[in-house]
Every structure is written in structure tokens, then in C-alpha cells.
Amino acid sequence: MSGRLMPCSAEEISSLFLFEKLSAEQLGMLCSAGRVELFDPGPVFAEGDPATCFYVMIEGTVVMSRRVGSDDIEVSRTSQQGVYAGAVQAYLGDGKPQRYVNSLRVPEPTRFFVLPAEAFANFMHEWFPMAVHLLEGLFLGSQTFQRAVGQRERLLALGSLSAGLTHELNNPAAAAVRATATLRERVGKMRHKLAVIAQGSYSPEVMANLIDIQERTAERVAKAPALSPLEASDREDVLSDWLDDHGIQDGWRIAPTFVQGGLDEDWLDQVAATVGEEMLPNAIGWLNYTVETELLMDEINDSTARISHLVDAAKQYSQLDRAPYQVADVHELLDSTLLMLSGKIGQQIKVVKEYDRNLPRIPAYPAELNQVWTNLIDNAVQAMNSAGGEGTLTVRTALEHDRLLVEFRDTGPGVPADIRERIFDPFFTTKPVGEGTGLGLDISWRIVVNKHHGTLQVESSPGDTRFQVLLPLTAVDSDETTEEPE
């Protein structure tokens, strides 16, 4: 993309504010190294291409745009003489690969002073060595600072999530420990009851029938239906009466266990008919221990499965064992984040998932998207907590044109209109001192916009605040390390 060459006038370029303090000799060197070009309406350079030239507008109009998905979004338009664009950080040399971070076009014939990036860098180092060192330090220091701050934000989130995860793991772990101790006791009593039965004068046929009943009872426990409290109470009364009528001591203690295991009056009639009246008390005791051990083993299995699920969610959230960049399912990422944050969300906030499961997997940095979800969910929860601690968090996914939408909607008080334009600024926060760094939304914006070439926006009114993340469905070729110039 080049224009028509025109004469370079040292007097004319000296009128540009960038060059007004240069000497006549320096202006002559600029004209010798650079050129003046007239561009017809159309593109001048494209985002992502190698930054080979530094452009300073002499006259005309320029339009700057950024690529979002497959669209070019206009970010600025000006006719101010002397505005510059292109290889503005060429002075960094090999310190950073140089690519155009925007696209530039002209809507009318426009003249530029064009300086090759290498010549621009040489002039900067030769004429302004101190300024170059300061700029390099500022730029590289800013990058280091942003990385350090980003790491701190991740550590703060990790600390909060670790506390929540510890709490979530503690419940099933404690349940498994309790169930294991109780199971050990019940197995001991079962062995004792077996010894008592074995000492009786029962025929091998009766013993075989008892073992068969035990096996079938265990199968019934595995298929026990879930009952409402009222249904369970009614069945306990019926079984308690049946046990009392058959001379079974402490029937009221045994009945709840049998109901929980799915046994009913008809089943106990079959047991009584099979083992006979003499053996019935011992058989009922034996089956009681059988049901208890099955229920305890189910509890242990559920608890350990819950622990395994939480560990899997933590691995999914952290992405520790996965490639940084991969094709990912956003629903898996959202689910793992919601699970990790369940302790912080609490019981008073209702979580509603409105997922479009037909959405395709997308190329992304999953661990960093999880950080975005964490920041947006955390902000929504804090907003609702500030308004009484109750509310609804709705997480919605959908296809919007050629991009994937992830929306977080809360019923909090909303974002005031006078600060809505500032919430993505670094260090801006409405939280009390010590409760926020003001970097969560800034980091989220950088991850979504700079790293994923997406969009992060907010729509807000009292009781309805929506943070919307729009992500491209396909990979966008670019240099991920490119930063916006100051």
C-alpha cells in the first residue's frame, strides 16, 4: 500500500509539531531518509502487518480501526495536522517485534511524511538518546508491571478460590470419614450377628435362603427410590407397626433404615415366610446391618465422587495439565469456574444457566478466560451482596452473528452512568480501600480484547446489569505480545 511520491519540503515538515524543534540540518536529514506520499481514499496499512514505516499526516483525514472478529471497528477519525501512526515504537529495536496494532485508511486524498522504521529508530537513538532510554524503560517497565499485577490478581483469586475449594472439599471428606468409621462398627456387629446365627440349629436350606434374601436386599437398596419426608414418615410408621406385630424389639429404630433402603411391608412378609418365625428376629437384625452397610458404602461412594468431581473442576479451572492455547468448550470453563466459586456465591444467590449447547468449541486461552469469568462473577456477587445479599446470577451463552456471546447478568443495583465509561480503566474501583485493586476489569478487558480479539462491554440499569464477552469463533492471526502505543 503506497501512494504517489511528492517533493519533501523541510520547511513544510518543520510545521508539524513533532519536528518543530529540529534544526535545519536535522530536517534535511529527515527529508533525505523519508518521503512525502499522497494516498488516494483507501487503506494505508493493515493491523497485524509488519510495522515498516512511521506516518505523520501533513494534510487530509485519517481513520483508525481495530479488528474485532471479522469486523473492523473504527476507533478514531481526525483531520488534525501532525497526527502520527504506524511504527511508533521502532526505537525498541529487537526488544519487541513490531507490527501495526491498528489499521489506517484515508477517506479523502491525504498526504503523509513517511519515514522507514529503521531510519526513525536511528534518528531517535542518535538525536534523543536519553529520551529513548526513558521510553524503553517506561515501556518495558510497564510490561513488567502489568505482568506482576496480573500475577498478583491471579494469586488473590487463587487464594480466595482455595479457601472456597477447601470448604467444598471438607464436607464430602468429613462425610466419608464418618461413614467409614460407622461402616467399620456395623461390619463388626454383622460379624457378631453372623456368629449368633451360625450357632443356631438352622438347616443349610434355611441358611441358603437367608443369604439369598441378603443378596436381594442389597439389590433393593441400590434401587431405592427417593422419598419425600412425608412419604418416608408414613412408610416408617407402617414398618414399625409390622416389626412390633412380629415381636421384633426396637422396631422403631430399624424402620427408618429399612425405608431408606427401599424395603416395604411386602418385602418383610417374604422374609418372614422364607426364614420362619424362630429365625425372624435374627434375620431382621442381620438384614438391618446389611442395609446399613450398603447405605454407608453408597455415602462413601457419593462423597469420594464429589471429591473427585471437585478435583477435576479445579484442574479444568487451572488448566495446569493442558496446553495454554487450545480449542475449548466455554461451557466446561464456565461450569468449572462456577463450581470453584460456589462457596463465594453462597446460598442466597440463585445461579441460572442459559447455555446454547449447540455452540462450537473455540480457539482460546482457557486459563485466562477462566480468570475473566472469575472477575465478572465476583463483581456480580459483590454487587448483589451490597444490595442485601440476595439475587440471581444468570450466565448465558449464544451465537451473536459470527461471534460467541458469554453474558453475566446480575440483579444488583447497577453501574452508575457517570462511571460506566471508566470501569475498565486500570486502578479504577468502587470497592472500599483494601477490598479491590481496580485491576480485575482492566485485566479482563486485556485478555478478551488484546489476547482473544474479542469485545467486553457492559449494559446496566438498576436490577439488570449485563457484562457481555464476545469471542471470535475462529483463530485470529496476530502477534499476541503487541501492545497499544501510548
* pLDDT tens digit sequence for 86-129: 887 777 765 556 788 888 999 999 999 999 988 888 888 788 77
pLDDT at position 52: 87
- Tell me how far CA of residue 111 lies from CA of 49, 138, 286, 305, in angstroms: 21, 32, 97, 69
Beta bridge partners of 459: 466
Q: Are 411 and 460 in contact (CB under 8 A)?
A: no
Q: Which residues pair with 404 in a beta bridge?
A: 399, 471
Cβ-contact 35, 58 below 8 angstroms: no
Contacts of 320 (CB under 8 A, 6+ apart): none
| C-alpha cell recorded at residue 46 | 493493515
Residue carrying C-alpha cell 462457596: 343
Q: Which of 128, 478, 475 is nearest to 325 (CA)?
A: 475
The C-alpha angle 334, 340, 345, rounded to 5 degrees, equals 90
C-alpha cell recorded at residue 304: 469420594
> Could you identify the residue written with the cell 475449594?
165
Beta carbons within 10 angstroms of residue 383's beta carbon: 20
pLDDT at 408: 95
pLDDT at 428: 44
Nearest to 281 by CA among 251, 261, 257: 251
Taking only the tens of pLDDT, the chain with its 486 residues reads 677 888 899 999 899 988 888 899 999 999 999 999 999 999 999 888 888 899 999 999 999 887 755 566 777 888 999 998 888 777 776 555 678 888 899 999 999 999 998 888 888 878 877 765 666 665 555 555 555 555 555 555 555 556 556 656 767 777 777 888 888 887 887 777 777 777 766 677 777 877 888 888 888 888 888 888 899 899 999 999 999 999 888 889 899 999 998 999 998 998 888 888 888 888 888 888 888 888 888 888 877 877 776 677 666 666 555 567 888 899 999 998 888 788 778 888 999 999 999 999 999 888 889 889 988 998 899 889 887 778 999 999 999 988 999 999 999 888 877 665 667 655 445 554 334 434 467 778 888 888 888 999 888 888 899 999 999 998 765 444 333 333
Element (H, E) at 85: strand 84-86
- How far apart are alpha carbons 420 and 243 in whole angstroms? 69
Single-letter amino acid, residue 235: R
Distance from C-alpha of 373 to C-alpha of 158, rounded to nearest angstrom? 13
User: DSSP alpha helices (H): ranges in 34-128?
Assistant: 117-127
Mean pLDDT, the chain, integer: 80
d(CA 148, CA 394): 32
Residue 405 pLDDT: 95
The span from the CA of 182 to the CA of 120, in Å, is: 79
On the 0-12 / 13-18 / 19+ scale of CB atoms within 10 A, 141 is: exposed
Half-sphere exposure of 19 (CA within 13 A, CB side): 29
pLDDT of residue 112: 94
Residue 303 CB contacts under 8 Å (≥ 6 apart), including other chains: 172, 173, 175, 176, 179
Question: What phi and psi, each to the nearest 5 degrees, are found at residue 348?
Answer: -80, -20
- For the chain, count helices (H), then strands (E): 13, 16
Cα–Cα dist 34/53, whole Å = 9
pLDDT of residue 134: 65
- Can you tell me the distance from the alpha carbon of 443 to that of 293, in angstroms, rounded to the nearest whole number? 52
d(CA 435, CA 244): 62
Output DSSP code: residue 359. Answer: P
pLDDT of residue 149: 52
Query: In the chain, helix, strand, coil percent, each to 5?
Result: 50, 20, 30
User: What stretches of 227-371 adopt beta strand conformation (E)?
Assistant: 326-328, 349-354, 362-364
Give the separation between CA 406 and CA 400, rounded to whole angstroms: 10
Domain architecture of the chain: domains with CATH: 4-127 (2.60.120.10), 163-309 (no CATH), 325-472 (3.30.565.10)
- Measured between alpha carbons, how far is residue 349 from residues 210, 273, 389 in Å? 51, 53, 7
Residue 179 CA to residue 251 CA, distance in Å, equals 23
Helix, strand, or coil (residue 367)? helix
Taking every pair of C-alpha atoms in the chain, what is the biggest distance, in angstroms? 122
CA angle 440, 442, 447 (to 5 degrees): 95
